[in-house]
Amino acid sequence: MNKVKLAKALRIFAPILLLGILLQVNPLYASESSDPGNNGSGEEEYNAGHMILDHIVDHYSWHIMTIDGHEVAIDLPVILYHNNQWNVFMSSRFDHGHSSYKGFKIAQEGPNAGKIVHITHENDETKLERPIDLSITKNVAALFVVAIITLLIFLSVARSYKKKTYQAPKGLQSFLEPLILFIRDEVAIASIGKEKYHKFMPYLLTLFFFIFLMNLLGLVPIPPIGGANLTGNLAVTGVMALFTLIITLASSNKNYWRHTFNTPGIPVLLKLPIPIIPVIELVGILTKPFVLMVRLFANITAGHIVLLSFVSIIFIFTNNIDPIAGWAVSPVSLLFGVFISLLELLVAFIQAYVFVLLSALYIGMAMEEEH
């Protein structure tokens, strides 16, 4: 990729990241301290683990900042199906987890902590049931945002391609064309082969750019453009891995299944009477997408945790030692934060690339002809 363009992108991204870090964490610290859940003493301890986890998991509303104890958040709709009945209302009804509505509340503890449960009273016993929850949560809303941004970018790029087919690319088009060609030449053609790659290009390109944009926007901590940890969520990565699995299985040929169930060049005793190799191969078919799912999730989540940890150091020092110590450590902490952010930019690309490359490899393996 063009070095100059990368540098330009970094120059644009770095201040946004810095600003975002300052915007996000400071109010959160305030919100933690004013959280009525652990009320009691006015000066309760800052819990970095809570804060970090709170940042990387899903929520029913999109928190922006807290001013004087009042949470400023984007209100999102809650969609529930319980007892053969649809319930649709705004998440503000829960008053940020403090009250219940229509018998639903956000569980504060237990196995469903942070999720909506239905309260049923039966023989003086309170039962908490999980409804079918199709709410537009923070992550769903962020998914919509990323999808719309992706659509805007590529529909406009497609328009400029249609308009000037025989001319050199310009603007956004010239920034994206090397990536498109990279996916086509180095990923699709290299893994699937020149004859069959064509069919899979839409999937691979969508996958790559969607993951790449989710990774990048996950680094932008300004709602509602970024601020959600999408690729650091198993549901998101799992669905993409599932798509890869389905496409792999749908495009598999006879040779692939022969290799799975009756691997050539392997002693018969390993296949009969106890089918060791076929079982291993079958499990392998499932572990491949599972690993895809976990790799992306773990990489992005780890990056977010490290970044937030560096920022947390300031508040830990302030709370546990002295405000002056907090001030003293903040330049170091911010410097490392920016460093990790830049590293995460690289990771954002690499993980998107790896996910697509492995998907293409699996598809290519399923279509391999006998040789």
Partner 1 sequence: MELVNPGIGLIFWMIVIFGLLLLVLGKYAWKPIMKSLHEREQSIDKALKSADKAREEMKNLQADNEKLRQEAREERDKILKQARDKQNEIIEQAREEANQERQKILDSAKKEISNEKQAAARELRETVADISLKVAEKIIRQELEDEKKQQKLVEKYFDEVDFR
By CB under 8 A, name the binding residues for partner 1: 53, 56-58, 79, 113-115, 132-137, 139-140, 143-144, 147, 150-151, 154-155, 157-158, 161-162, 165-166, 177, 180-181, 184, 198, 201-203, 205-206, 210, 233-236, 238-240, 242-243, 301
| Token pair belonging to 52 | 């970090």
Shortest spacing between CB 303 and partner 1, in angstroms: 14
Scan for tokens 């999808």, then name that residue: 147
Shortest spacing between CB 50 and partner 1, in angstroms: 12
Please identify, using beta-carbon distances, which residue of 17 and 140 lies nearer to partner 1. 140
Please identify, using beta-carbon distances, which residue of 35 and 58 lies nearer to partner 1. 58
Angle between helices 234-250 and 323-366 (to 10 degrees): 10
Shortest spacing between CB 141 and partner 1, in angstroms: 9
First to last CA, the chain: 36
Sign of the C-alpha dihedral, residues 295, 115, 61, 34?
negative
Shortest spacing between CB 252 and partner 1, in angstroms: 20
Please identify, using beta-carbon distances, which residue of 68 and 109 lies nearer to partner 1. 109
Please identify, using beta-carbon distances, which residue of 58 and 368 lies nearer to partner 1. 58
Query: How many angstroms separate the CA atoms of 34 and 31, rounded?
Result: 5
- Backbone φ and ψ for 274, nearest 5 degrees, come out as -95, 115
Please identify, using beta-carbon distances, which residue of 210 and 317 lies nearer to partner 1. 210
Please list, in sequence order, all residues whose beta carbon lies within 8 angstroms of the beta carbon of residue 250, skipping any fewer than 6 positions away: none
Query: How many angstroms separate the CA atoms of 211 and 302, rounded?
Result: 16
Please identify, using beta-carbon distances, which residue of 33 and 233 lies nearer to partner 1. 233
Element holding 42 (H helix, E strand):
none
Beta strands 125-129 and 62-67 are unpaired
Shortest spacing between CB 247 and partner 1, in angstroms: 10
Cα 333 to the chain's mean position, in Å?
25
Shortest spacing between CB 210 and partner 1, in angstroms: 6
| Token pair belonging to 258 | 């022969």
Please identify, using beta-carbon distances, which residue of 14 and 242 lies nearer to partner 1. 242
Shortest spacing between CB 56 and partner 1, in angstroms: 7
Shortest spacing between CB 343 and partner 1, in angstroms: 21
- Backbone φ and ψ for 58, nearest 5 degrees, come out as -80, 160
Please identify, using beta-carbon distances, which residue of 103 and 169 lies nearer to partner 1. 169
Which parts of 52-202 are beta strand (E)? 62-67, 70-74, 77-81, 86-90, 104-106, 116-122, 125-129, 132-133
Please identify, using beta-carbon distances, which residue of 233 and 299 lies nearer to partner 1. 233
Shortest spacing between CB 166 and partner 1, in angstroms: 5
* 8-state DSSP, 370: P
**Cβ atoms < 10 Å from Cβ of 284:** 10
* Preceding amide of 278 cis, omega within 30: no
